């Protein structure tokens, strides 16, 4: 756990002085004060994250963490498990929605095999961090061991570190894993102390009978495993997923290195809940892109104290919402860096 412990130690609270400097700069731009609303707040957040009054966003990455789940045996998904493997190949081929949106914003897509129940040929766009070929069925036993949970977190930290060392200065989280709204709902229910029914939705399109099975499976998993809501590693090991642990690790790694991390939808928010339970200060480094249609997402974001940038009725995952979130964040930074000031433009200020 040394890598995890060292990462946690590096995560610091934001410097209020940086927020003040950013506000002063924003107020001197050629516009009425506060007239760009959330864009201004976002620009201030990026300054406080990076420690740079003139922050740069010029190298962008979307990390798609992939893993399979033993709980699919309980009929919680409308799709078979092999779709995880097939979609990873689609990502590598550049044909998925996240590939299209990443190209649109000029971002790199890096796929990470955290625990897919299949083997892949070597590919430079695929990182092999496989913990195991899918988790255990959490309705019968812990989804993974505590050691595997730590390995998943540290793998995410390592991936984030590699990208940051390569010059990426904003990172988005994405996911792929058939059945992964089930552990995400379980994590949200436990950490947010909310009834399972209130955080469990239809995922990829199950019917009412499927939703009933899903809720029953989550309740059984929580009853069997009794995860400690205050212990992020315990929650991850008992009712989580390898890709969810990887996402949590990416968030912690970005926070430790003062790099903004744009979180996607419901699965990414489950990873964010795990990261927050481990080190609450990491929430400041998260940019919540959108509010998913999945009913538990708004509850998770509220627990984290985060307000999403937009709501487009999205529920795909993959990092698709986060890619759009990067674009909005880049716009906020450009406002801060590229607008003229009143004095430089020769524009009179108000009386």
Domain map (residue ranges) of the chain = 2-55+335-345, 60-329
Return the structure tokens found at 175.
Answer: 């996911």
Cα(128)–Cα(64) distance, rounded to whole angstroms?
A: 12
318 is catalytic: yes
Mean pLDDT for 263-283 is 98
| Per-residue confidence (pLDDT) for residue 205, from 0 to 100 | 86
Average pLDDT score, the chain: 97
Specify the CATH architecture of the domain 2-55+335-345.
Answer: Orthogonal Bundle (1.10)
Return the structure tokens found at 188.
Answer: 């949200």
Give yes or no for residue 351 having a pLDDT over 70.
Answer: no
Residues 6 or more apart whose CB falls under 8 angstroms from that of 126 comprise: 88, 92, 111, 112, 113, 120
| Per-residue confidence (pLDDT) for residue 350, from 0 to 100 | 67
For 60-329, the fitting CATH number among 3.40.190.10, 3.30.1360.170, 3.40.50.10210, 3.40.50.720 is 3.40.50.10210
Instruction: Give me the sign of the Cα torsion angle 157, 163, 167, 168.
Output: negative
Q: Concatenate the DSSP letters of all residues of 233-293 into one string.
A: HHHHHHH--HHHHHHHHHHHHHHHTT--EEE-SHHHHHHHHHHHHH-GGGGGGEEE-B--S
| Per-residue confidence (pLDDT) for residue 344, from 0 to 100 | 82
**Matching CATH topology for 2-55+335-345 and 60-329?**
no
Exposure letters 96-105 (e unless 16+ CB within 10 A, then b): bbbbebbeeb
| For the chain, percent of residues with pLDDT exceeding 70 | 99
pLDDT in tens, 285-330: 999 999 999 999 999 999 999 999 999 999 999 999 999 999 999 9
Q: What is the 3-state secondary structure (H, E, C) of 138-151?
A: CCCCCCCCHHHHHH
272, 279 contact by CB (below 8 A): no
Return the structure tokens found at 217.
Answer: 């499976």
Neighbouring-strand partners of residue 127: 112
| Per-residue confidence (pLDDT) for residue 276, from 0 to 100 | 98
Cα(43)–Cα(20) distance, rounded to whole angstroms?
A: 12
**From the candidates 243, 318, 330, 338, which is the catalytic residue?**
318
């Amino acid at each position: 756990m040394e890598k995890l412990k060292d990462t946690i130690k590096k995560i610091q609270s934001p410097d209020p002085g940086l927020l003040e400097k950013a506000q002063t700069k924003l107020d001197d731009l050629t516009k009425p004060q506060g007239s760009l609303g959330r864009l201004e707040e976002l620009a201030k957040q990026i300054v406080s994250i990076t420690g740079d009054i003139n922050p740069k966003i010029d190298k962008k990455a979307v990390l798609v963490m992939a893993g399979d789940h033993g709980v699919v045996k309980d009929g919680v998904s409308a799709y078979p498990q092999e779709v995880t493997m097939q979609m990873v190949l689609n990502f590598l081929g550049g044909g998925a929605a996240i590939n299209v949106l990443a190209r649109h914003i000029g971002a790199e897509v890096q796929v990470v095999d955290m625990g897919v129940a299949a083997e892949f040929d070597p590919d430079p766009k695929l990182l092999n961090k496989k913990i195991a070929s899918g988790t255990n069925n959490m309705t019968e036993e812990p989804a993974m061991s505590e050691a595997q949970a730590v390995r998943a977190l540290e793998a995410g930290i390592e991936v984030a570190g590699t990208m940051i060392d390569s010059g990426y200065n904003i990172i988005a989280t994405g996911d792929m894993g058939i059945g992964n709204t089930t552990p995400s709902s379980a994590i949200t229910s436990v950490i947010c102390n909310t009834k399972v029914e209130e955080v469990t939705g239809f995922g990829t399109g199950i019917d009412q009978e499927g939703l009933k099975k899903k809720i029953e499976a989550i309740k059984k998993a929580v009853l069997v495993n009794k995860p400690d809501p205050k212990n992020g590693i315990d929650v991850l090991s008992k009712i989580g997923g390898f890709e969810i642990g990887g996402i949590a690790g990416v968030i912690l790694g970005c926070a430790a290195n003062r790099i903004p991390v744009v979180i996607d939808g419901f699965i990414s928010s489950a990873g964010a809940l795990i990261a927050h339970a481990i080190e609450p200060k990491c929430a400041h480094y998260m940019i919540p892109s959108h509010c998913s249609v999945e009913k538990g997402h708004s509850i998770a974001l509220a627990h984290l104290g985060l307000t999403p940038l937009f709501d487009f009725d999205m529920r795909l995952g993959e990092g698709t919402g986060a890619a759009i979130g990067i674009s909005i964040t880049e716009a906020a930074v450009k406002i801060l860096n590229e607008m003229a000031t009143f004095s430089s433009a020769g524009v009179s200020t108000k009386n």
